[in-house]
Each structure stands twice: as structure tokens, then as C-alpha cells.
Amino acid sequence: MRKLFNIVIFSTIMLLGFNPGAYSTVLNSQFISEQVKNSIIENLKDKYEGNIEVNIKSIPYKTVEIPDGKIEIKTNINSLSTVSIVKAGIYVNNKKVKTFGVRAEITIIKDSVWVARDWIKRGETLTSLKKEKQEITLSPAKLPGRNFKPAQYMARRNIKPGEVIELNDIQALPTIVRNSPVSVIFKTPSVSVTIPCTAVTSGKTGDFIKVKSKKFKKNYTGKIIGKNLVLVNI
């Protein structure tokens, strides 16, 4: 009778989902915060020059209970701002066991920055820039990245000499610039014809822009598929 009773108790425990020793490691908020911080720095250091500082504003747990094994915390940031929302995951033996979000204040201390050498007018390419020794603290959301190439950008506004270049001040050069000559491919299911036109609007690859045919005295709307190349499906 006693043996039967023990079997019933054991079966009940298993049905309730109790697995002795399955959850035996407890992480506190201080450990989690430090690991999240280290992961953010690791993710950003290849993209930005300078000393990256991270201040974790909040952790949603005081403690987290996880299985035994190799612990790793990975992070992902969809968009950077003064205070960024960071998605974090706790992994044990490469298996995700917990996901949560944290608020993190991220700044970068740089000892050199891009500055304007001369006046740069709105719409001009950033050919007049130089690197200058200057310690500055900024959110990475405002800073050009490590692989920044000035010649591929133009000014959104007038920039005065000596002014530090921030992302809000610039934009990528369009693939096609307004009033520039373009080749337009008119395509049907059975044939395609290419004629010279002029871009009426600017845009980057994938954008739809208007073009004008001087020969036919007509405007068309097409998709930019390459440098000075527009596709019009008929």
C-alpha cells in the first residue's frame, strides 16, 4: 500500500512539471546589468570610434532563476537614441531561456571628430571636411560611424567652418540627382527600349522618380535600378 502511495505522489509531482535540479542558478540584477552593458559595448565598438559608456537605467527583475550551464547574455538595439530600448536575451548552453527589455543611456567619448573645413552649403557634397583632435561626448545616434565616407554624403543645411558633423546635419547622396541625364528602360512583357531622359526629381536606388523625355515631350514615373538608370514598366 505504501509503495502504491509513493508511486501516486511521484506521478503527481511529474504532472505538475516539477523537475528536481532543472532551475538551480539564480542571477541577480547587478550581474544581469553588467552583462547587458558589456554586450552593448561589444556590439557597438566595431561601428563607432571612441570610448563607449553605457548606463543601464532599469532591469525588470531583482533575480532570475535559470538552468545550470554556460550563461551568456546577448543584446540587440533596433534604433539608437539618448536613452535606447535594448532587447536582451539570457542564453544557457546557446539556448534562449529568457527575453526582456532594458533602458540604456549610451554615450561615446571621442578624441577626434569630423569638422567642416570651410562653409558647406545645403545640398553640397561633404568634400570640405577634416578630422580634428577634440574631446566630445555624444549619443551614437548623432555620430557618423567608423566607416563614414564624407564624399558619399551631402549637407541637409548650411554648415559653418569648424562645426562638428552630426548625422542630423547630413544625408546620403542620391543615386540620381535632379536635372541629371538618365537612361530610361521602357519594358513590356515582350520587348524593352532604352531612351535618354532627364531626371525631374532626385532619389536613391529603389525609389520611384519622375523623368522627362525631351524627344517625346512627356514625363514618366519609373524606379531607380542603378546609377543613372531608371525602369519604366509599360
pLDDT of residue 124: 87
| Tens-place pLDDT, residues 137-167 | 777 778 788 888 998 899 999 999 999 999 9
Band of pLDDT at residue 36, cut at 50, 70 and 90 = very high
Q: Which domains does the chain have, with CATH numbers?
A: 22-107 (no CATH), 111-134+142-172 (3.90.1210), 181-233 (2.30.30.760)
Band of pLDDT at residue 211, cut at 50, 70 and 90 = very high
- Long-range CB contacts (within 8 A, 24+) of 163-171: 163/115, 163/116, 164/113, 164/114, 164/115, 164/134, 164/136, 165/113, 165/114, 165/115, 165/116, 165/126, 165/129, 166/138, 166/142, 167/141, 167/142, 167/143, 168/142, 170/126, 170/144
Per-residue pLDDT, averaged over 82-91, amounts to: 90
Average pLDDT, the chain: 85
> Cα(199)–Cα(186) distance, rounded to whole angstroms?
15
Handedness of CA 19, 24, 30, 33 (dihedral sign): negative
**Backbone dihedral angles phi then psi of residue 23, each to the nearest 5 degrees:** -115, 100
On the question of pLDDT at 45 being above 90, the answer is: no
On the question of pLDDT at 17 being above 70, the answer is: no
Per-residue pLDDT, averaged over 132-140, amounts to: 76
On the question of pLDDT at 222 being above 90, the answer is: yes
pLDDT of residue 23: 57
pLDDT of residue 22: 53
